Structure 1
Amino acid sequence: MPGLDIGVIGPTGFGGSYLTVELLNRGHRVRGISRHPEKLGHHEAYTSHPIDLEKAPIEDISKAFSGLDVLVNEYGPHTAGEEALQYQPFLELTRKIILAAKDSKVGYFIMVGGCGSLNLPGTHFHTCSESRDWWLAYRRAIAKSHAHVAYMEERLGSMGTALREYRDAWAAVRQGTDTGATRRSIDEYEQKVLNNDKAKTFVTACRTSFMFFDGNTSFRWTYISPSALYRPGKRTGTYKTIFDEIPLKPVPAGADPKSLEDRLHGITAADLAIAITDEAEKQGRIGRHWSAYADLSDDTPTPSYVTLS
């Protein structure tokens, strides 16, 4: 197919950088839209449009989106640490972006949300972000992954360091070398996870952002939520999809069927970039909320960001 003009909001970030490289490798023309999109590097089919979306008026944002066949929103303030995880600013910026995309008549809007908007299996009103079991299963799962912990350390500083300590404590439990202090450190960490209002506030904002889209027929959109264990890693080239629900592995033999422990799927940024690029080209999930997941058996740490040069 002939190359498309595709805008990527956040082209130098985690998911955005992998996506931009994938799009360019597929022969598309990419417009990077952020404060410093030039930091990604140079490519003949890549153009930078510097703009501070948080401060710019909607009219200027609309001009930034002008002439695009597809716009992918990879905006994520979480790279700036916990202080940036705020409910109202995220939703206000999402609103501005949508209004500007509609005003500039973007052909297809792809929103990359969070897995907190995905429903638990068999439910219509209960998302995984409301589940105490999900929060614990998520933290325990990422702690088991060396690649994920390394990524969190690089990306979030002290939050990543705390996750490394939590990982080491659980390793001691599995090896039978834990002590009372080890168990206490695990309990303290998990209580902090359950009581972390800042993280939950942002996840809730991501979930609420879906309401801008659900049932909205005034523009062409799709909303993809990465599966829970979303991290850097190997590009396998294959993935599976599911609508509306968080993807889960089968219940292990003898386990509680209601438990989420060891059942969370994930996907690397490289494989999610394939899924998003496929959707940009085929546009087969218009007006749908979906997730993608893939093989995460390779646990080798890889860069959190990629560049063009």
Structure 2
Amino acid sequence: MMEPASTRLRVGVIGPAGFGGSYLCVELIDRGHHVVGLSRNPQKLGSHALYEPRPVDVDNASEAELAKAMSDVQVVVCEYGPHTAGHDGLRYMPFIESVRKIILAVKRAKVGYFVMVGGAGSLHVPGGDGICVADSKDFFLAYRRAIADSHAHVTYMEERLGPLGASLRAYRNARLALRSGGGDEDGKAAARTAVEAFEAKIKQDPAGGFIKAARASYMFFDGNTSFDWTYVSPSALYRPGKRTGHYEVTIDDLPLRGEPKGDNALDGRLMGVSAADLAIAIADEVESRRYKYQHWSATSDLSDDTPAPSYVTLDP
């Protein structure tokens, strides 16, 4: 972990009151940086002498309007997430268009450094012959199994997704019932049926539109030296959790543990990072620019499975 910077920065954060953005803003402010929150409702984060909420509708603002909102900051961190309603596939183009617009605004405003927080989908699977996570035949089943094994992660998904999170809880409970070895045969059969039905849906339609859009957004950056950037993809099991203060970085590849086993080469091998620890990693990068022009991920210790807040706010 880097020591706090002696030079205080003005940092624009797109999506300051969201999941990752709220943790990042608190981390930056705790280090003494001045944070400008850029979103439709940035005041949701709370108030602080070092926090300036600057309302802007990223989805509908023009490139010029976004550039004006960024005109006085030295670094911009994009924690943007789309708000388009409807089927997940409908979010592909809005997300790509908004990221394209944000990059053009960053260049127009002559922002010194741009930190893009994308998804794990653009990371490469080690040993996968260059295949990205979003295209992996093994990833999504391993991912669902891994998050179902975490009470903290399932709790987070319930808060975030509502009914979809409830189906994940039912899947977790069925898996636990099968592992326990107890219960009557009818109960075991019902649990087995529930697990098989849930996993069949994953195999049928593994990657949603937003995951593919986040993967595609990296193409705006790869090999582009017309502005200074870094692209961070959170590791697979990204969730609220304990702030350990320590993290490990990998470049381009999906962080994994151990050797492949079983039919699914990624089963039991996925790693994660807490929102608090990823905020540390991003804040370190804001200060150091160590990974300029690089695509990286970070992992931290998630052994504490206690549910944590999905969002944090500034102290009054």
- Structures share fold, TM-score greater than 0.5: yes
RMSD, matched Cα = 1.8
For residues 253-283 of structure 1, give each alpha carbon's deviation from its aligned partner in whole angstroms, at most 9, with x where no partner exists: xx34971111100000000000000000000
Structure 1's unaligned 5+ residue stretches are: none
Contact persistence 2:119–2:211 (CA under 8 A): yes
- Residues 69-110 of structure 1 show CA distances to partners (whole Å, capped at 9, x for unaligned) of 110000113797855861101000000000000000010000
Q: Which residue of 1 aligns with 2:3?
A: none
1:71 aligned to 2:76? yes
Q: Tell me whether 1:195 sits opposite 2:204 in the alignment.
A: yes
Alignment-derived partner of residue 27 in structure 1: 32
**Structure 1 match to 2:247:** 239
Alignment match, 2:222: 214
2:288 corresponding residue in structure 1: 282
Once residues 262 and 81 of structure 1 are traced to their aligned partners in structure 2, the CA distance between those partners, rounded to angstroms, is 32
Mapped to 2, the partners of 1:191 and 1:43 lie a distance apart of 48
**Quick one: which of 279, 286, 311 aligns to 1:305?**
311
Distance, in Å, in 2 between the alignment partners of 1:162 and 1:79 is 22
State yes or no: 1:259 paired with 2:265: yes
Aligned in 2, Cα 1:209/1:59: closer, same or farther, shift over 3 Å? same
Separation (CA, whole Å) in 2 of partners of 1:155 and 1:81: 16
Q: For 2:82 and 2:243, how far apart are their aligned partners in 1?
A: 25
Contact in 2 for aligned 1:117/1:208 (Cα 8 Å): yes
Could you say which residue in structure 2 is the equivalent of 1:47? 52
The equivalent of 1:160 in structure 2 is 165
Please show how residues 97-112 of structure 1 align to structure 2 within 5 Å.
97-112=102-117
With 258-267 and 165-174 compared, the bigger mean Cα shift is at 258-267
How many percent identity over aligned positions? 57
Which residue does 2:142 correspond to in 1? 137
Aligned residue type for 1:297? S
- Give the counterpart letter for 1:62 in structure 2: A
Q: What is the CA distance between 1:196 and its match in structure 2?
A: 3.6
The verdict on how the C-alpha distance between 1:80 and 1:23 changes in structure 2, with shifts beyond 3 A counting, is farther
1:5 aligns with 2:4: no
Q: Note closer, same or farther for the CA distance 1:64–1:124 as it changes in structure 2 (3 Å cut).
A: farther
Q: How far did residue 194 of structure 1 move? A: 2.7
Corresponding letter in the other structure for 2:242: K
Q: What letter is aligned with 2:297? A: S
Unaligned runs of 5+ in 2: 1-5
Instruction: Show CA shifts across 1:125-182 (max 9, x none).
Output: 3012212211111000000000000000011101110000000000011001452221
In 2: Cα distance, 1:152 partner to 1:56 partner: 30
> Which segment is superposed worse, 267-276 or 73-82?
73-82
How far is the alpha carbon of 1:58 from its aligned partner? 0.8
**Preserved CA contact (<8 Å) 1:71 1:106:** yes
Structure 1 stretches of 4+ moved >4 Å: 78-85
Count of residues in correspondence between the two structures: 306
What's the offset of the Cα at 1:251?
1.9
Distance 1:16 1:84, change over 3 A: farther
Structure-2 residue corresponding to 1:296:
302
Report SS of the residue matched to 1:296: coil
Between the aligned partners of 1:84 and 1:76, the Cα distance in structure 2 is 14
Distance 2:275 2:75 in 1: 19
- The CA deviation at 1:201 is 1.5
Moved more, 149-158 or 116-125: 116-125
Query: Matches of 1:224 and 1:97 in 2, distance apart?
Result: 16
Q: Note if contact 1:40-1:307 (Cα within 8 Å) is conserved in structure 2.
A: yes
**8 Å CA contact retained: 1:79, 1:155:** no
Alpha carbons of 1:85 and 1:142: their partners in 2 closer, same or farther (altered >3 Å)? farther
| 1:237/1:200 CA distance change after superposition, 3 Å | same
**1:72–1:112 contact (8 Å) kept in structure 2:** yes
